């Protein structure tokens, strides 16, 4: 018998592999935080023993979800300014609140709240873009979740940096500090075409090549953004970015609700990844990302929640369902983005965009044990004819009972194991009291 750290027995396993497999009565064998094998339960029981064995007779085991676009700390601003157009929301409410409150302590508290919510909802990896990323990194390190943290760049000063030079310098420091961390990676995060100059983008492109990291950027989020670009410089944002050389397999273009056929072809040719944020786009009336058209061109589509200030949650199961349904409605084709493709958008596709596909995003031998258990025992999950369909169209984040990252259990029977829920709630309420007092 071979002794290992952990064996998870399950009623179903959906590994999100190339075969689109659904395994029944199988087990995941884990050693040193990595998946050693996926085998039928009877074979595992005669070949392996484990320090810990967990059995989930009514659960589906699957890869942890990858939230490919967040502003984690903005969870402290959840519900602060709802039902407003994007630029009104930003200019009149969010940016003034950030100017007054954003600090290392604000970001740490907001990141704790967000990461606790994400873990409880089955997210095991997130791609963040926000100020004071070193504060978010501390919470990532403590909590055990996986993250790619943005080296943010924006042309105007903030509490974190005074100018482009300082943004780049601080980003480099973040990268250097965490370059050997097992769960923290970095990427460049220029905010948007209308807030970052050509010179800054050229430096980011060069630095990203040298460091071999992705670039995440809000692009074509609204019709107003594209119109303004044409009025000011004569071309739409994507054409400007293409001329600068930004379009490449390094780029994760966020939102992309305003796209022409030509622009879709440019993205396909360049290997651009797209982070689709359906619920945020709906709430801010930003438009519809043409997901079915992008899919037909072979573009890698991933999912993100955006920040809780504009969503208002970090629920990736909600995003999966919304993405699948919206794709069908926009394409007027009920067969567009079938269930397994929608699940891939929230798992392996996100890993590919972040350059982590050899580590996470699917349950396969040699990958990190980033795993979630989803309970199918309740009345809302009956009957179950197709497990993947059930995950996409009929599953809520409250059904996530257990979460592991690198084989370490972060959620056990709905209870956080690495974060103090009571402390997080109290800290959040304290912050809300201060913010409410000044916003009123």
Q: What are the distances in angstroms from CA 119 to CA 18, 164, 345, 398, 410? A: 26, 33, 18, 11, 7
CATH superfamily membership of 65-353:
Metal-dependent hydrolases (3.20.20.140)
Return the CATH number of the domain spanning residue range 2-62+371-406: 2.30.40.10
How far apart are the C-alpha atoms of 245 and 415, rounded to whole Å? 46
Q: What is the pLDDT of residue 438?
A: 66
- Residue 373 CB partners (closer than 8 Å, separation 6+): 8, 10, 56, 59, 60, 61, 400, 401, 402, 403
Q: Which residues of the chain have pLDDT under 70?
A: 438-440
Q: What is the pLDDT of residue 39?
A: 98
Contact indicator for 411, 120 with CB cutoff of 8 Å: yes
The pTM of the full predicted model, rounded to 2 decimals, is 0.97
- List 273's β-bridge partners, or say none: 252, 300
* Neighbour order of strands in the sheet with 215-219: 65-70, 123-128, 146-153, 184-190, 215-219, 251-255, 273-276, 300-303
**Burial of 79 (C-beta count, 10 Å sphere; 0-12/13-18/19+):** exposed
Q: Both tokens of residue 410? A: 């972060």
Q: Are strands 146-153 and 23-31 parallel, antiparallel or unpaired?
A: unpaired
Degrees (nearest 5) of the Cα angle 117, 344, 212? Answer: 85
Q: What is the pLDDT of residue 439?
A: 54
Domain ranges of the chain: 2-62+371-406, 65-353
Q: What is the pLDDT of residue 103?
A: 97
How far apart are the C-alpha atoms of 348 and 68, rounded to whole Å? 11
Q: What is the pLDDT of residue 90?
A: 83
Contact indicator for 235, 314 with CB cutoff of 8 Å: no
Q: Both tokens of residue 59? A: 């659960």
How far apart are the C-alpha atoms of 344 and 351, rounded to whole Å? 10
**Burial of 262 (C-beta count, 10 Å sphere; 0-12/13-18/19+):** exposed
């Amino acid at each position: 018998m071979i002794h290992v750290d952990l064996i998870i027995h399950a009623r179903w396993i959906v590994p999100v592999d190339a075969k689109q497999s659904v395994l029944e009565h199988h087990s995941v064998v884990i050693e040193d935080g990595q998946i050693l094998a996926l085998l039928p339960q009877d074979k595992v029981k005669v070949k392996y023993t484990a320090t810990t064995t967990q059995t989930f007779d009514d659960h589906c085991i699957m890869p942890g979800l990858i939230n490919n676009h967040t502003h984690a700390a903005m969870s402290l601003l959840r519900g602060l300014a709802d039902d407003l157009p994007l630029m009104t929301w930003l200019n009149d409410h969010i940016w003034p609140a950030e100017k007054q409150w954003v600090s290392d302590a604000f970001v740490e508290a907001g990141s704790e709240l967000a990461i606790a919510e994400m873990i409880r909802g089955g997210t095991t990896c997130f791609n963040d873009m926000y100020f004071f990323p070193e504060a978010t990194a501390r919470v990532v390190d403590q909590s055990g979740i996986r993250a790619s943290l943005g080296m943010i760049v924006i042309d105007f000063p903030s509490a974190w940096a005074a100018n482009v030079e300082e943004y780049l310098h601080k980003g480099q420091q973040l990268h250097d500090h965490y370059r050997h961390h097992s769960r923290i990676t970095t990427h460049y995060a220029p905010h948007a075409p209308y807030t970052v100059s050509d010179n800054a983008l050229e430096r980011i492109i060069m630095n990203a090549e040298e460091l071999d990291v992705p670039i995440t950027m809000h692009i074509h989020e609204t019709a107003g953004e594209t119109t303004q670009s044409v009025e000011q410089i004569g071309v739409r944002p994507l054409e400007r970015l293409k001329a600068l050389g930004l379009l490449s397999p390094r780029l994760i273009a966020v939102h992309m609700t305003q796209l022409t056929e030509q622009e879709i072809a440019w993205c396909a040719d360049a290997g651009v990844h797209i982070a689709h944020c359906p619920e945020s786009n709906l709430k801010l009336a930003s438009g519809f990302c043409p997901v079915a058209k992008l899919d037909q061109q072979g573009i890698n589509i991933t999912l993100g929640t955006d920040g809780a200030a504009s969503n208002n949650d970090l629920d990736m199961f909600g995003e999966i369902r919304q993405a699948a349904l919206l794709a069908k409605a926009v394409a007027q084709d009920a067969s567009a983005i079938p269930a397994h493709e929608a699940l891939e958008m929230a798992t392996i596709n996100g890993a590919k965009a972040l350059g982590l596909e050899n580590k996470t995003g699917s349950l396969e031998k040699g990958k990190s044990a980033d795993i979630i258990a989803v309970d199918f025992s309740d009345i809302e999950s009956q009957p179950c004819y197709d497990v993947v369909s059930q995950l996409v169209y009929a599953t809520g984040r409250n059904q996530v009972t257990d979460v592991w990252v690198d084989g370490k259990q972060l959620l056990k029977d709905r209870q956080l194991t690495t974060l103090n829920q009571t402390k997080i709630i109290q800290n959040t309420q304290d912050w809300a009291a201060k913010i409410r007092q000044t916003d009123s």
